Chain A
Amino acid sequence: MLVHRDLHRAKQVARHWTAAGCPVVLHVDSNVSDASFDTFRNAFADDPLVRFCARHRCEWGTWGIVAASQSASELLLGEFPDVHHVYMASGSCLPLRPVQELIDYLAARPRTDFIESVTIADVPWTVGGLDIERFTLRFPFSWKRNRRLFDRYVRLQRRLRVRRRIPDGLVPHLGSQWWCLTRQTLSAILQDPLRPRYDRFFRRVWIPDESYYQTLARRYSSDIQSRSLTLSKFDHQGKPHVFYDDHLQLLRRSDCFVARKIWPRADRLYRTFLSDKAGKMKQAEPMPGRIDRVFAKAAERRTWGRAGLYMHSRMPRPGREHGVTAAPYSVFQGFADLFTDFEPWLAKVTGAQVHGHLYAPAGAEFAGRQRHFKGSLSADRAQRDYAPQSFLTNLIWNTRGERQCFQFGPADNQAVAGLMRRDQNAQISIISGAWAVPLFRSNRNFADLRREAARLQKIESLFIADLRAVESKAKVRIWTLAEFIESPMEHLQQITEEIGTRDKNRVKEAPTMSDLTGFAQFLQNLKNQGMQPYLMGDFAADAAPLNRAEPPRKPFLVR
C-alpha cells in the first residue's frame, strides 16, 4: 500500500486488510515528516502482519512510484512466503466487498494476473498527446513543477528526432497502476537477470507506474486478465474521480472489490465499507459499467455541455456552441398575413406552442398574448430588444420538450435574423411578399402604403438573401405568394408534417385565406406609383379597370 497523506485513513484500511488475515507492506512517501511517520509506524507495533519498506519520493509521473512498489513487493514476497497474490493499493483505496470474498475470488483463479495492459496503439486515454513518445523520449523535468521546461524539452527532442531504443523483447503496454499479480509473475519481474537494464530504461519513461508492470507482465504471465480489480475512474484531465458519501449506493452496486479515490472525509463510506462484514453484495463479478456511465456523463457535460444553454459557467464563443439553440423550432413569415386564423389553426393541427410575432415592434406576442412566458420571459419591448438573441435562446431553452412556433416578418426587429441563420434548429418557412396583404387590406393613405411596401420589401429580400447564403445552417423554405396560393394545402401539409401533426391523418381543415380579390390591382397600383413589388411573384393582373370611355391604347412592347 502506497501512502503519502491522510495517514489515519491508510491506518484504518491497513487494519481492515490484516484483520482478514492479509499481510500488508506499507510504503510511506519520503515527503511525510519523520515525526508523523514514527507515530504511524508505532500504531502498527502490535500487528504482526504489517511491515514498512524503504521510503522513496513518489512524485506523480516519475520513477519513484515504481521504486516504491518494487521495494514493497520484494519485502512482501520475502517476509510472507504463503502469499500467492499481491494487490497494489494506495492510501485512498477502499475495499468495497468483504476481504474474504476477494480471497476466495483469487483462490479460485490461482494462475491469473489481474493487470490492465493494453498496447499503445489501442489506448484512447493518453492525455497530453504523448503515447509511444512516453517510451522513446526522455523526461528529466517534472511535469508538475516545471511544465514549461518539460514541454520545451519534448519539443526539442521531437525536432532533433531523438529516439531512445526500446530494449529487445519489450512491447510497451499501458494500464492502470492498481494491479493484482501472482507471486510467480511478480517474482519473475523482480528477479529477472535483465532487470537492471529494464529499470534503467523505465527510469526515464514518462509515467512508468502505468507501463512498467504492464509491459513486463506480458513477458512472464501465462494468464493475464487485462483489467484492474480496483475501480478507478479518470476525468478528461486524467485526474482520478473522487468518491463521496453520496456515492454509497453506486459503489455498492458496482460489485467491485476496491475503489479509489475516496475523499478522506467521507466518513460514511469508511464506516460502512470497513464494517460491512455481512457481505451486502452477491457473489458477483465486478461491474464497473454502471459507474462508467455516470462518469461518462460528467465528462460530456464538461467538454460538450448542454446545447443552447448560455449561463455563467458556459458562454461558448460563436461557432463553439454545439447547437446555437436547445431544440428545433419553426418560424413562419407571411403565413399570418395570408391566413386570418393561422395561429389557432397551426396550434390545433400540430399541438405545438404557437406564438404571434415574437419580435413585433410593440413587444413580444406570446401565445395567448400573455405578458410573461416560461422562465418569466417578459413580453416587454425594451426587455426583449436589450438582448434580442438571448430572448430567443432563452425561450427555446426554457421550453425544452415542447415545439415552439412563431411568426416573423419584415416589420419585426431583425436583430435575431443572424442567429436564426446560423442555427440548424431553425426551420424557417417564408411566403415572400405576403406582407403586402395586410397593406392591401388596410385603410391607409396610398403614399404611406407605398413607402411601407418599399421598406418591407427591402428588409425581406435582405433576409432571404442571407438565408440563401452558403453559410446559412437554417432549414429554409421559400415560396412566393403567387406560388403558394396555387396549392396552399400541399405546402401546409409539408410544413405541418415536419413539425409533427397531432394525429397522423392528413390535415383536413384549411386555415382561412384572406380575400385577395383586387390584390393584383393593388400591386399594379404600386407599380403604377413607381414601386416594383417583386417578392410576391407574378400575379395575373385583373383586367385593367375600365374607368375611361375610350379603348385602351396599345401598350409598348419591350423585347
Chain B
Amino acid sequence: MLRAVWKSRELQSVRNRTARIKPNDVLLFCTARNEQIRLPYFLNYYRDMGVDHFIFVDNASDDGTDIYLADQEDVSLWRTDGSYRAATYGVDWLNGLLRRYGHGHWTLVVDPDEFLVYPFCDTRPVRALTDWLDESGIRSFSAMLLDMYPKGPLNTQTYTAGCDPFESACWFDSGNYTLKKNPIYGNLWIQGGPRSRVFFADRPEQAPALNKIPLVKWNWRYTYVSSTHALLPRGLNQVYEDWGGEKASGVLMHAKFLDMFQQKATEELHRRQHFAGSAEYLAYADPETAQPDLWCEWSEKYKNWHQLDELGLMSKGNWT
C-alpha cells in the first residue's frame, strides 16, 4: 500500500472528472499504452454493461490514446512516463487511484483487451450483479482470463477500431486448464489455454497465470498484489468454494490475439517491461511461432455466456 501511495506521485492528472461520481456508481480502472484502436469498442462495451465512470492511467502513449480518452465525458485520465515494470506492472498506479476514488464503490479493474462476461450479462446490467453480491455479503468476484483467437494466422484479418474483436477472434480452448492453490495469498493459480498449448508446449510451468479477480467492492485498505491475480487482505482471494459447491463467477474474454499482436509483441519485447523478463513476449516473438495459428480442430467457437457456464469456465453459482 505504501508503494501505491509512493508510486501514485508519478501520476499526473490530465482530466479529472471524478467529481461526477455518484455514491453507488460502478467504476472501471484501466492502464493503457497505445491502445487507441481498441478503446472505442472497449468503452462502449462497458458503458452498455452499466459502468458509470472510467479511470484511466495512460502510460506514455504516442498514438493519441490520451487525446481520445480526455475527450470522453465519463473518463478521468492520468498520465505517467514512469516504468510499467517498476510500478509492479501498472498495479501500483491503479492501487493509488483505487484507494483515492474506489472506496465504497464496486470497482472493475481490467486491461483494454479484457472483456468481462458474467452470468446473465445479456439481460442484466452489472448493477444487478453488484446488488446481488452486496446482498449476499460477497466482496470480490472472480473471472478467469479466457484467451480468444481467430482461425488461421493472426494477420489474416485486420481489426478496425470500434468493431467487436470477437467477431474474428471467436475461438477458445474449453477444457485444458490446470489449477493450483497459492499458499501465500490463498488465491488459485490457473494456467493453460492456447498460450500454454502453443507458446509454452514444452515448459507449461512458465505459462502465464489466468486467474483474475477484477470486480471488488473496494475499501481503501485493500490492495492488488500482482496484476489482478491476487489481493490483500487474503480473504478477498477466497472466490472459490472448497467444500464442493460452486460460487458465482465470470470470464474475462481476452482479445489479445488480433492482427496487431505481432507488432505489439515485438514492441513489448524491446521495452522489456513485462513479467519474468518478458519470457512470454520472447516466446511470441520466436521466429518459429512468428505467425502462430492457435486454432486446433477441438477449438470451441464462442456463442454466449450460457455456453461458458455449461462448459464450466464460469458459474451461475446460486444466482438465478
Contact = CB atoms under 8 A, between A and B. Distances in A.
Nearest to B296: A372
B167 interface: no
Contacts of B202: 380, 382
Interface stretch (B7-15, B78-86, B193-201): B193-201
A370 B298 CA distance: 10
Tell me the interface secondary structure of chain B in the complex. loop
A314 B320 contact: no
Contact of A245 (B123, B127, B176, B178): B123
A374 interface: yes
Interface in B172-187: 173-181
Contact of A375 (B243, B249, B298): B298
Interface string A381-395: 011001100100011
Nearest to A297: B320
A294 interface: yes
Given A237-B136, A306-B312, A382-B203, A313 B179 contact: no
Interface stretch (B25-33, B91-99, B234-242, B269-277): B234-242
Residue with the greatest number of chain B CB neighbours at <10 A, chosen from A265, A295, A395 = A265
Contacts of A237: 136
Contact of B298 (A302, A306, A374, A383): A374
A305 B246 contact: yes
Contacts of A306: 246, 312
B317 A302 contact: yes
A395 B174 CA distance: 11
Given A244-B124, A245-B123, A301-B316, A383 B201 contact: yes
Interface stretch (A316-324, A346-354, A416-424): A316-324
Interface residues of B, number: 59
A33 interface: no
B173 A375 contact: yes
B288 interface: no
B178 A387 contact: yes
Contact of A236 (B135, B194, B318): B318
B290 interface: no
B204 A383 contact: yes
Nearest to A315: B240
Nearest to A322: B244
A263 interface: yes
A314 B202 CA distance: 28
Interface string B239-265: 111111111110000000000000000
Contacts of A302: 241, 245-247, 317-318
Given A263-B131, A375-B173, A375-B298, A301 B239 contact: no
A310 B191 CA distance: 13
A486 interface: no
A321 B244 contact: yes
Contact of A304 (B132, B196, B203, B244): B244
A386 B178 contact: yes
Contact of A376 (B176, B181, B244, B247): B176
Contact of B247 (A313, A375, A395): A313
Nearest to A373: B298
Interface string B287-320: 0000000001111100000000000111111111
B107 interface: no
B115 to A, nearest CB: 17
Contacts of B316: 298, 301
Nearest to B295: A376
A235 interface: yes
A301 B312 CA distance: 12
A432 B203 CA distance: 35
B50 to A, nearest CB: 9
Contacts of A235: 318
A244 B312 contact: no
A371 interface: yes
A390 B178 contact: yes
B227 to A, nearest CB: 15
B175 A320 contact: no
Contact of B244 (A242, A244, A305, A390): A305
A312 B245 contact: no
Interface in A328-377: 370-377
A188 interface: no
Contacts of A386: 178, 191, 204-205
B228 interface: no
28 contacts: A236-B318, A237-B136, A242-B135, A244-B128, A246-B120, A265-B127, A265-B128, A297-B320, A298-B318, A298-B319, A301-B246, A301-B315, A303-B244, A303-B245, A304-B245, A311-B312, A312-B249, A313-B241, A314-B246, A320-B244, A372-B197, A375-B175, A376-B174, A386-B191, A390-B177, A390-B179, A397-B312, A398-B174
Given A303-B318, A386-B178, 4 more contacts: A320-B242, A376-B173, A376-B174, A382-B203
8 tightest A-B CB contacts, nearest first: A375-B175, A302-B318, A313-B249, A387-B178, A376-B173, A398-B175, A246-B123, A313-B247
Interface of A: 235-237, 239, 241-242, 244-246, 263, 265, 294-295, 297-299, 301-306, 309-317, 320-322, 370-378, 380, 382-383, 386-387, 390, 394-395, 397-398
